[in-house]
Amino acid sequence: MRISGSTALVTGANRGLGRHFAQQLRERGAAKVYATARRPELVDLPGVEVLRLDITDPASVAAAAEAAPDVTLLVNNAGISTDTNLLTGDLESIRREMETHFYGTLHMVRAFAPVLAGGGAILNVLSALSWFSFDGTNAYGAAKAAEWSLTNGVRLELAGQKTLVTGLHLGAADTDMAAGYEGAKEDPADVVRAALDGVEKGQLEVVADEWSAHVKASLSADPALFYTQLA
């Protein structure tokens, strides 16, 4: 996948990682960047084409696909974090997490798959929480685990049309979404740079930081070891 000369669409491009994706795609020579958001008036980057898009609304997704029929790189970045647990949390918040990360991403993939045939690429922004649970964010973790499985599944289904599907895993990045997190945070520009490098190299997975690499490595061991260390 060559980013230079490509036509990219980024969801959730008004802030955080999404804004960095749109900016770096322009800097890397993308011919066109569709920067989308539920509130498009908040997108403040020059040189991008702004579209209104709510990935949880199938009609909005269909309208975006009709407005952007030339996309060759789809960046599924839009996300939410409701800080909700599964047993005691509000069920509507849990559903919002799943509607956004799983069904929203699936709506986007299904809508844009036809125009990505023959060499296009999809980048799904996942999380280290795809691979572990943390008390207080279990709805987010469950939704990201589902999105990780979705990423692996659609990769197989799109292989026949030669569409690359890359998953990006990261811990905490220094964005608005992680404002309340007090641990170490990665520079979002570095995370985005690693992700786009991975797409250009044809990687199926990009693990953007040491914490995510540590979590992934723990999956082959007794989970008691990881969760004891986490506690």
User: First CA to last CA across the chain, in angstroms?
Assistant: 41
Close Cβ partners of 36 (under 8 Å, ≥ 6 residues apart): 9, 10, 11, 12, 13, 43, 50, 51, 52, 53, 64, 78
* Regions in the chain scoring below 70 on pLDDT: 173-183
- At residue 222, the pLDDT reads 97
Give the CATH number for residue 217: 3.40.50.720
- At residue 180, the pLDDT reads 65
Rounded distance, CA 184 to CA 176, Å? 14
Residue 69 lies in a domain: yes
Residue 2 lies in a domain: no
Close Cβ partners of 193 (under 8 Å, ≥ 6 residues apart): 24
Q: What's the DSSP call for residue 51?
A: E
Q: What's the DSSP call for residue 186?
A: B
- At residue 60, the pLDDT reads 98
Residue 1 lies in a domain: no
- Give how many domains the chain has, as a whole number: 1
Rounded distance, CA 173 to CA 79, Å? 13
Residue 148 lies in a domain: yes
Look at the chain and count its residues: 231
- At residue 8, the pLDDT reads 98
**Which structure tokens are listed for 51?**
């579209």
- At residue 213, the pLDDT reads 97
- At residue 231, the pLDDT reads 86
Residue 168 lies in a domain: yes
**Which structure tokens are listed for 80?**
């939410």
Domain span at residue 70 reads 7-230
- At residue 1, the pLDDT reads 87
Residue 162 lies in a domain: yes
